[in-house]
Amino acid sequence: MSIRPLVILPDPLLRVVSDVVSHADGATKALIEDMFETMYDAPGVGLAAVQVGVTQRIVTMDASRKDDEKEPLALINPEIIWSSDALSEYEEGCLSIPDYHEVVIRPAKVGVRYLDLDGKSFEREMEGLAATVVQHEIDHLNGKLFIDHLSRLKRERVIKKFQKLARREGSE
Ligand code: GNR
Ligand code: NI
């Protein structure tokens, strides 16, 4: 198991639509283990495979409360099958956009269908932080970031800041 380096804005990988996993194998299992290790180390409550440079439709998450037992959940080919009309506001952050947080409005509850490593299909209802995180992660699989839910002004400001940071680090 190992911690993998995170892909950071403005890396164009973050805009790629990830591929459906047609057959999970040993490499998929190893990737998911590394994603959990990378996510817990960060620390983060969710991670999409593209954030460690693998453009496959795989998500890890753990929306358990701080002092409660861990609830690791790995989702392969996750899909939102329904969303509530009720909305909820959450201050979001993203490991690929370090140190930037902003409130995003999304459906409060969602139904999610996904596969596990054995190819078995599951459906579950999510609410609260889990609903927000799973929508944030599925956005990643579609090349979408939480800043895309903000005003153009805010989004462009953030992108500019990270472009500048990358230029500085690239020329050091
Ligand atoms: O760690 C994370 N926290 C978080 C908080 C509110 C809404 C979404 C998230 S996901 C984020 C980790 C991440 O970037 N996943 O893609
Ligand atoms: Ni993210």
170 pLDDT above the threshold of 90: no
- Fill in the DSSP letter of residue 56: B
Do the bridges between strand 58-61 and strand 46-48 make them parallel or antiparallel, or are there none, so unpaired?
A: antiparallel
Whether 110 maps to a domain, the answer reads yes
Q: Is residue 85 part of a domain?
A: yes
Print the domain residue range for 24: 12-171
Q: What is the pLDDT of residue 133?
A: 98
Band of residue 66 on the pLDDT scale cut at 50, 70, 90? confident
Closest atom of ligand 1 to 43 CA is: 1
What's the pTM value of the predicted model, to 2 decimals?
0.97
- Active-site residue, selected from the candidate residues 102, 127, 137, 156: 137
Domain membership flag for residue 118: yes
Look at residue 100 in the predicted model and tell me its pLDDT.
98
Q: Please give the distance, rounded to the nearest whole angstrom, from the Cα atom of residue 35 to the centre of ligand 2.
A: 13
User: Position of tokens 């495979």?
Assistant: 49
CATH number of the domain bearing residue 86: 3.90.45.10
Largest CA distance in the chain: 49
Does 4 reside within a domain? Answer: no
Question: How close is the Cα of 123 to the center of ligand 1, in Å?
Answer: 22
Which helix or strand (DSSP H or E) is residue 24 part of? Answer: none
* Rounded mean pLDDT, 29-52: 98
Q: For the chain, what is the domain count? A: 1
Query: Is 148 domain-assigned?
Result: yes
pLDDT in tens, 10-33: 999 999 999 999 999 999 999 999
Instruction: Confirm whether 5 is domain-assigned.
Output: no
For residue 111, tell me if it sits in a domain. yes
Rounded CA separation 22/4 (Å) = 23
Q: Which ligand is nearest to the CA of 101?
A: 1
Query: Is the C-beta atom of 45 inside 6 A of ligand 1?
Result: yes
In-domain check, residue 7 = no
| Centre of ligand 1 from the C-alpha of residue 118, in Å | 26
| Sequence-ordered list of residues with C-beta below 8 angstroms from that of 102, at least 6 positions apart, any chain | 91, 92, 146, 147, 150, 154
